[in-house]
Chain A
Amino acid sequence: QKEVEQNSGPLSVPEGAIASLNCTYSDRGSQSFFWYRQYSGKSPELIMSIYSNGDKEDGRFTAQLNKASQYVSLLIRDSQPSDSATYLCAVGDFTGGGNKLTFGTGTQLKVEL
């Protein structure tokens, strides 16, 4: 059974700080990794995808992947109160043309004024 583990939080950071969210996965053969943001009462919103070892930056977001350690992280720079949400880490499986995500339980982030 493929598993994805996240610390449920809440993770509290002051406004303007860097928020660091972490995720580990069990299937060493996994190739596709995603971070979703989910506001309370809303559906998940894709914010980052990463497929290769190293860092991938998009605006204030940086995703980091280390396949040897089976570890994915998301850094949010200059955190804003609007970043307060639950962040879901997911591993993708596109076998046979379909799409399947295995999610962690999510980390709740609170950005405090």
Chain B
Amino acid sequence: DAGVTQSPTHLIKTRGQHVTLRCSPISGHKSVSWYQQVLGQGPQFIFQYYEKEERGRGNFPDRFSARQFPNYSSELNVNALLLGDSALYLCASSLGTTGIYFGEGSWLTVV
């Protein structure tokens, strides 16, 4: 069975640009969440979605937005990129409470 898939795996953007990151959850999983991980830190929660509705948002600016589609895939959008947005962006999916599984992540570098 396929795990959580994310795209793109690596990308380089310029300050001020916009980026869209995509995620497909494990088949049957209806809950998706997004995390940002900078070097030396644990992942920080950005958004969670369940049944296509936003169920929670972390302490991130409004430049960050997300949505979940009818097939439960999701995308994370970041506008007006800053150098500090350079990080590993992780998508995770879950079914119930038995475990939350991460994709390989998208490495974003802002120059």
Contacts and interface: CB of A to CB of B under 8 A. Distances in A.
A47 B31 CA distance: 20
Given A97-B30, A98-B49, A105-B42, A92 B55 contact: no
Given A43-B88, A97-B51, A98-B55, A88 B99 contact: no
Given A98-B55, A99-B92, A44 B49 contact: no
A104 B30 CA distance: 26
B101 A98 contact: no
B58 to A, nearest CB: 8
A100 B42 contact: no
A57 B41 CA distance: 27
Interface residues of A, number: 28
Contacts, number: 78
Contact of B43 (A44, A45, A92, A94): A44
Given A104-B42, A105-B41, A106-B42, A99 B94 contact: yes
Contacts of B93: 99
Contacts of A101: 33, 35, 43, 45, 92, 100
A12 interface: no
Interface residues of B, number: 32
A95 B94 CA distance: 13
A102 B97 contact: no
B24 interface: no
A36 to B, nearest CB: 8
Contacts of B40: 105
A95 B55 contact: yes
A90 B50 CA distance: 20
A96 interface: yes
Contacts of A25: none
Interface of A: 4, 32, 34, 36, 42-46, 49, 51, 88, 90, 92-106
Given A97-B30, A102-B45, 6 more contacts: A45-B102, A96-B55, A98-B49, A101-B43, A103-B44, A104-B42
